Structure 1
Amino acid sequence: MIGWEDVFKVLSAMAPLYFALVLGYGSVKWWKIFSTEQCDAINKLVCYFTLPLFTFEFTSHIDPFHLNFPFIAADAISKLVIVLVLAFWAKCSSKGSYCWSITSFSLSTLTNALVIGVPLAKVMYGQMAVDLVVQGSVIQAIIWLTMLLFVLELRRTGLNLVASRESSSSDDDGHGKATQMVGEGGKDVEGGAMEVEERRSNSHKPSFKLLMKKVWLKLVANPNSYACIIGLAWAFVAKRWHIEMPDIMEGSILIMSKAGIGTAMFNMGIFMALQEKLIACGATLTIIGMVLKFIAGPAAMAIGSIAMGLHGDVLRVAIIQAAVPQSITSFIYAKEYGLHPEVFSTAVIFGAIISLPILVAYYAALEFIVH
């Protein structure tokens, strides 16, 4: 059973996150150091430099020849279950939405496993659990975060093309405003304006070929698209032929990658300071986000784990790691692409605060249920 010393270890791992968060919040709210434009520039620094180098660094150190494929397959099945449910909801419900399907998928499946999941797994189940969580994080970076990046870029590029065509065919101020709302940088808008734009876009829909060409060019220019793939490729080479990365190269990567999580949390603090309310998305969306994170995600993982025949501690780790708080990367992407960043910031911050008692409750319950 987890003791107070183990709880302290987990809290010690989480505390630095909130130190960076408070510094970011204070730099704007109290000390007025950064302007709005400078805050956008900080988000781009995190999105295009520190985050991809952090992703490359942790991916390049795994052992790809000793992966737990049933565990990885269970994780994939759980995410496909969520995708199918959201696709059904988007198509069959009057409240269904492509944008909210993307957000709901991220909330229920993408976890902050490296920062919170690893120390928690170590105190609960030891090194075996740590290895599984790291493997899950690498697969999340390679497959699921890359897919998230693709659908976000597809959405923004499509809306920009539609807005561009509308503005060129009409002299309306409303169309000009639409162009501004979906412009480069992905500013967040209120009142579901993005949803309105998507429903108005049918008559101005760009060709699939043009759309995919533009999306491809955007993704090629985005280091997040291939940082984890290059890292995994290096891991294969390094483990197969026992090659070590040259010191000059490793040092160059580490000097930026070590700032990845810190600058991401600092950036989130800045975002919070720019909002009118501390819980920017409101109580209702906060509750929905917590339900998706701590109930829907683990439930889907339980389905995937049972389907793959996982048992014992591996099954327990699979379910608990699915309940780990929200991925910080998902907030960075949401802010960059203007898709519900207020929901993700609340999910990361509030989720991390309430996660420890929830995860301990899962741990205790699984000790009795899983054999």
Structure 2
Amino acid sequence: MIGWDDVYKVVVAMVPLYVALGLGYGSVKWWRIIMPEQCNAINSLVYYFTLPLFGFEFIAHVDPFQMNYPFMGADVIAKLIIVLLLALWAKCSSKGSYCWFITSFSLSTLNNTLVVGVPLMKAMYGQMGVDLVVQSSVVQFTVWFTILLLMLEFRRSGTDFSSTTTVGDSSFLSVEPAGKDLEGNQIIVAASTTTRGSFWYLMKVVWLKLAKNPNSYACIVGIIWAFLANRWHFQMPSIMEGSILIMSRAGTGTAMFSMGLFMALQEKVIACGPTLTVYGMFLRFIVGPATMALGAFSVGLRGDVLRISIIQAALPHAISSFVIAKEYGLHATVLSTGVIIGTMVSLPVLISLFAVLEFLH
């Protein structure tokens, strides 16, 4: 059972996040140290340097041969259920769109496995809980973040491609602008004249951009290194590890600092409004664990592994999801609010979920 000492340890892990957030907010709002036009550059620093190095450093030190593959399978099934539900919603609902499909996928699948997850799981289930949440984080970095980046690049490249094609071109892509989404972002939807040639050309552009994205290949290189290092039992050279650590250790702090800068530029603290805030909380704390429960039951997980799988799916939103949303200009207000509010309310929610699962046991 969780004691007050365990709760304190989780709070100790969470409070520094809000210190970094407050410093970023105050740097723009109160002290005028950083000008509004400089904020995008700081987010780019996080996106292109500290975040990929943080991901590589973490993944490279994991032993992939010791993973719980039924647990990984349950996670994959849960994510596929979410993708199917969101695809049906985007296709059948008048409020659905590709842009909101991407944002909803991020809100419901990507969680804060390390800063919040590790101390919380250690308090709840000991080392087994830590091991499983770390394994979940590896898959999140290498698979789900890559899929998110693929969808975002497809959206960005499709918009750029449609604006540069001409009627006489053999790979012409005819598009028409839709009304705008709830944040006023212009949505571009393909018309019926899309040809097969234009699609494959667009996919080529997307993959080339993705291949140049350090967040993509950092995770892939990290998992390859982890396999090789654990197979032949060698360690990373200290000069190489030191060069990576000097930037990767700043990953979480600079991400929260960048979020504070972003908040300072908004008119309201809850920039996306209460409706979208509730929507984000619903996806994170209801849809995420519910679909994970379905995935876990489908592969036959039982006991503490089952309970850990459900609780880790209810962890708050991943901080890096905001950084990515800000870099691609897609619903950053929703993601920032999700991270800030979600992290604040996650502790009582997760403890309550833990108590319910233990009672049912």
Q: How does 1:209-248 map to 2 (within 5 A)?
A: 209-248=200-239
Corresponding residue for 2:244?
253
Q: How does 1:325-364 map to 2 (within 5 A)?
A: 325-364=316-355
Q: 2:167 & 2:230 partners in 1: Cα distance? A: 54
Q: Does 1:162 align with 2:153?
A: no
Give the secondary structure class of the aligned counterpart of 1:198: strand
TM-score, normalised via structure 1 length: 0.91
Q: What fraction of aligned residue pairs are identical, expressed as a percent?
A: 63
Q: 2:168 & 2:21 partners in 1: Cα distance? A: 43
Q: 1:192 & 1:276 partners in 2: Cα distance? A: 15
Corresponding residue for 1:322?
313
Give the secondary structure class of the aligned counterpart of 1:126: helix
Q: Does 1:296 align with 2:287?
A: yes
Corresponding residue for 1:181?
none
Corresponding residue for 2:300?
309
Q: 2:117 & 2:38 partners in 1: Cα distance? A: 32
Corresponding residue for 2:26?
26
**Residue 138 (structure 1) shift:** 0.2
Equivalent residues of 1:26, 1:273 under 8 A apart: yes
Among 257, 278, 281, the alignment partner of 1:266 is 257
Q: How does 1:1-371 map to 2 (within 5 A)?
A: 1-165=1-165, 191-195=183-187, 197-198=188-189, 207-370=198-361
Give the secondary structure class of the aligned counterpart of 1:325: coil
1:37-95 superposed Cα distances (whole Å, 9 cap, x missing partner) = 31111111000000000000000011111110000000000000101111111112222
Q: 2:285 & 2:225 partners in 1: Cα distance? A: 34
Equivalent residues of 2:28, 2:36 under 8 A apart: no
Question: What amino acid is the match of 2:121?
Answer: A
Equivalent residues of 2:2, 2:124 under 8 A apart: yes
**Residue 210 (structure 1) shift:** 2.0
Give the secondary structure class of the aligned counterpart of 1:72: helix
**Residue 220 (structure 1) shift:** 1.8
Give the secondary structure class of the aligned counterpart of 2:65: coil
Between Structure 1 and Structure 2, how many residues are aligned?
352
Q: 1:346 & 1:87 partners in 2: Cα distance? A: 24
1:91-116 superposed Cα distances (whole Å, 9 cap, x missing partner) = 12222211111111111111010110
Q: Report the RMSD for the aligned CA atoms in angstroms.
A: 2.1
Give the secondary structure class of the aligned counterpart of 2:37: helix
Q: 1:210 & 1:19 partners in 2: Cα distance? A: 46
Question: What amino acid is the match of 2:69?
Answer: F
Question: What amino acid is the match of 2:145?
Answer: L
- Structure 1 unmatched runs, 5+: 170-174, 179-187
Equivalent residues of 1:165, 1:204 under 8 A apart: no
Q: 1:73 & 1:274 partners in 2: Cα distance? A: 41
Question: What amino acid is the match of 1:193?
Answer: N
Equivalent residues of 2:326, 2:332 under 8 A apart: yes
Give the secondary structure class of the aligned counterpart of 2:66: coil
1:192-241 superposed Cα distances (whole Å, 9 cap, x missing partner) = 3322x336x66688811221222122112210111111111111111111
Q: 2:267 & 2:167 partners in 1: Cα distance? A: 32
Give the secondary structure class of the aligned counterpart of 1:235: helix
Equivalent residues of 1:78, 1:304 under 8 A apart: yes
Q: 2:28 & 2:143 partners in 1: Cα distance? A: 35
Q: 1:366 & 1:304 partners in 2: Cα distance? A: 16
TM-score, normalised via structure 2 length: 0.93
Equivalent residues of 2:255, 2:323 under 8 A apart: yes
Equivalent residues of 1:162, 1:204 under 8 A apart: no
1:119-178 superposed Cα distances (whole Å, 9 cap, x missing partner) = 000000000110000000000111000000000001011011112348999xxxxx9xx9
Q: 1:101 & 1:192 partners in 2: Cα distance? A: 16
Q: 1:204 & 1:30 partners in 2: Cα distance? A: 50
